Structure 1
Amino acid sequence: MEDTRETPHFDMMNMLLEQVNPDIALTSSKADDDFIDVLTEHMETTSGVFQIRPFKEFVPAKGRDRLLALNRFAYISTDDNDLPPSSEDASSSSRPRNAYDFMQSRREVTGDPTTMRWNASIRLANFASVESSPLCLASIGALLDYIVREKALSEFDDDGIGGLDIRDIEIIALDAAMQINADALLYAYS
């Protein structure tokens, strides 16, 4: 969901909290006091954890980088059947003949970092628009920091972001609301 303006009564936030029913809620130290009150009230009634984190943890660029560092985004299948066929057999020439052969030749045991970052960027675009969702990416970064910190405390393990086993990422759509992009509205009225 793209970043969206909230009403003074936090209707959208209340709908989201009721629908998702989170166990943990994090917010920035620069958040609005009324917003913090809404989160506090909901998390107290559901016996969830609520933390106010330093605003420096909520930076879109950091969130994007942390998300790109997840194994779920960076690693893809290295099955040769997934790639387009080469123009020539790669074994007949020591020099790659096309981009796919070149990228395949750069892969090592751990994978080519440039390729992994490129793959992660493409996959990230399926979940969040970097340009239209800076608050979303900032929140993702703060959440991943929190998870890494909690994992390090509970397991005495400091693998960082790469050590997280994120199994799935889902886009949340509010059940009782529909968001219409401003471009669609302009097109409808023209």
Structure 2
Amino acid sequence: MARPREFDSDAVLERAMQAFWAKGFRATSLDDLCAATGLSRSSLYAAFGGKRSLLHQSLSRYEEQGIARITAALSRPVPIQQAVADFVGNLVENIVTGSGRIGCFIGNCAAELARQDRATAARVRRSLERIEATFRDALVRAQSRGEIAKTADVDAIARFLVAGIQGLRLVGKANPDRAALEDIQSVMLRCLDR
């Protein structure tokens, strides 16, 4: 009979995600993952199926956390323009103060692995599509309330917002200048004008 797990899978995934996010997939060794999670190699493999599987599970965790944050931000009882402005403004603030300067975990994985690793590319694509759908759903609700034009292409706007957020996070890694990031934010928000 197998021994029951003696660790919190969610906590282990969180620590593994942080390790991958800080160093990237290739630069994060199994020893790094063992140190970050407190598990042995055999326990990591038994519980998570290896390094790449652990990365994909970490991406899923990040995706769920991101969607929860976006949903909460866009579900507030304010016009969509204000909700998006506040969400992106918080992102800019996190980048400028340093806590958001490591970029987006999904974007980092795309940049590092998507061209060579089809499974990771598919995983990243799925994450971005789900995030886009979260924005699209909020935009459809806003459109029904008259906050954006009935003729607005909510699919294109959602796609643009996701691309803009990815761009902000990427630019912020190299140049966390508040004025530059706020310029980008301002242009992004124009897509929500009536």
Query: What is the TM-score normalised by the length of structure 2?
Result: 0.31
Higher gyration radius (CA): 1
Structure whose residues are more often strand by fraction: 1
Structure whose residues are more often helix by fraction: 2
Query: What is the TM-score normalised by the length of structure 1?
Result: 0.31
